[in-house]
């Protein structure tokens, strides 16, 4: 939620936010003690924008089981990896398609002696 607010303040727009439902991270003994073994009684309250937010499970119900390949350049962005910022300012690194695949191919070659 703070990421959405920071994006707005910086002038970025977010078209869609995919929300993943997950179980409580409390230990099972804590859950049993707190709720007599029945688990949490209510879902946590999260801010929701119907024009932007979607449930992951709803999106996956309509997703195709096939994904045709798309040709990419080696320097096209693949994903961004962020640190938590627990030791200072949060940082991120952009991994490119070529760098990731080169690492995967090199690892396969040397690990499996192929």
Strand locations in the chain, DSSP E?
17-19, 53-55, 77-82, 92-96
Contact assessment for residue 19 and residue 56, using Cβ atoms and an 8 Å cutoff: yes
Residue boundaries of the structural domains of the chain: 1-66, 69-114
Calpha distance 48→56 (Å, rounded): 14
Closest CA to 6 of 82, 79, 96, 77: 82
Each of the 114 residues of the chain gets a pLDDT tens digit; together they read 677 788 888 888 888 888 777 654 444 444 444 555 565 556 667 778 888 889 888 999 989 999 999 998 989 998 888 877 777 777 888 888 888 888 889 999 999 987
Helix (H, G, I), strand (E, B) or coil at 92: strand
Residue 4: is it exposed, middle or buried by C-beta count within 10 angstroms (0-12/13-18/19+)?
Answer: middle
> Tokens for 53?
């937010």
């Amino acid at each position: 939620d703070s990421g959405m607010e920071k994006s707005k303040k910086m002038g970025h727009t977010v078209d869609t936010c995919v929300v993943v439902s997950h179980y409580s991270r409390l230990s099972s003994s804590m859950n049993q003690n707190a709720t007599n073994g029945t688990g949490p009684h209510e879902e946590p309250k999260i801010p929701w924008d119907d024009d932007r937010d979607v449930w992951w499970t709803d999106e996956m119900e309509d997703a195709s089981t096939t994904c045709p390949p798309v040709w990419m350049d080696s320097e096209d962005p693949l994903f961004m990896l962020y640190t938590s910022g627990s030791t200072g300012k949060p940082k991120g690194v952009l991994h490119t398609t070529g760098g990731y695949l080169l690492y995967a191919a090199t690892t396969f070659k040397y690990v499996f002696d192929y």
